[in-house]
Structure 1
Amino acid sequence: MSGNHHDEGHTVAGWTGCAVAVVGTSVAGVGMCLGSAVGIWLGLGVVGLGVLVTWGLHLAGWGKPPGIRPVAERGMWVRDRGARAGHPACVGCRLAGRGHSVGTTTGVALSAQGVKGAQRAQGVLRTDAGSGSSPSGAASSESVV
């Protein structure tokens, strides 16, 4: 079993968010048992607060990036130094305006094939405004996007 090293994702953000969500679902459950709409909505509000707390702690570096971390960075109290710049495949970072968009290879396609080749490779045929011809040589007045 010592050869099986996997990243379980134990982080301050994860455990704190889980604890707040457990309290929220407990409050909602008690509200449901008592027939109190206020208790149910209060509990659901606490669960929503748990989501925001987890997201905030992740952005502050107390979460983890998507995927498996190196062994030295798997401890619960190890802070993620790359969180300020954002993680490339992280939805939370993208919602906060951090990170990079995944799958943008237009620059590589433009340098390797030229502008017309990149448009053709992406399935985009645009008409040339000056001559009325498309990049494939056929005369057309419409653009296919």
Structure 2
Amino acid sequence: MSAHPYDHGHTVAGWTGCGIAVAGTALLGAGVCTVSGPLLAAGAAVDVLALLVTWALHLAGWGKPSGPRPRGEWSWRVRDSGARAGHAECLGCRLAGRRGGRTVVPARPLSSPQTAPVETDAVGVGG
């Protein structure tokens, strides 16, 4: 059981991108150790691929924005229903042309029986 009401964002997009990036970084390390230009180029290309795959999965709903969300959405197997509109303050969503809108943030931890949502603007200030 977690001692805090926050999801740390373990997602399909995050784990997949991390796995690909580890492989790319291993190629870069091998390239440095063997002084091999082709290995360095291959490692850099795989790391760029990791970035693009992670971004595509995030936009497809397999990534989640940071911040509090209902406990039912904490599993990494749950797709993000708000991905099509974009996430407020998300660079990846802004680069894809998805601006995001107002977000609903719980006023208290979700374990509280009197939880009431509070609407915030794109910078997280109540409005």
Q: How would you bin the TM-score normalised by the shorter chain?
A: 0.7 to 0.9
Q: Looking at both structures, which has the greater relative contact order when contacts are Cα pairs under 8 Å and sequence separation is at least 6?
A: 2
* CA spacing shift, 1:2–1:100, aligned 2, 3 Å: closer
Letter in 2 for 1:12: V
- 4+ aligned runs moved over 6 Å, structure 1: none
Greater share of strand: 2
Greater share of helix: 1
Residue 36 (1) aligns with residue 29 (2): no
The aligned residue for residue 97 of structure 2 is 97
Q: d(CA) in 2 for partners of 1:74 and 1:35?
A: 43
Letter in 2 for 1:97: G
- TM-score (structure 1 length as normaliser): 0.66
* CA spacing shift, 1:63–1:98, aligned 2, 3 Å: same
The aligned residue for residue 72 of structure 1 is 72
Secondary structure of 1:80's match?
coil
The aligned residue for residue 81 of structure 1 is 81
Q: CA RMSD in A?
A: 1.6
Which is higher, the Rg of structure 1 or of structure 2? 1
Tell me, yes or no, if the aligned pair for 1:11 and 1:64 is still in contact at 8 Å: yes
Partner deviation per Cα, 1:31-69 (whole Å, 9 max, x = no partner): 111110110111011001100100000000000013222
Structure 1 gaps, min length 5: 104-145
Shift of 1:2: 4.5
Tell me, yes or no, if the aligned pair for 1:12 and 1:76 is still in contact at 8 Å: yes
* CA spacing shift, 1:23–1:51, aligned 2, 3 Å: same
The aligned residue for residue 16 of structure 2 is 16
Q: d(CA) in 2 for partners of 1:55 and 1:64?
A: 11
Q: Aligned pairs, how many?
A: 103
Q: d(CA) in 1 for partners of 2:35 and 2:94?
A: 39
Structure 2 gaps, min length 5: 102-121
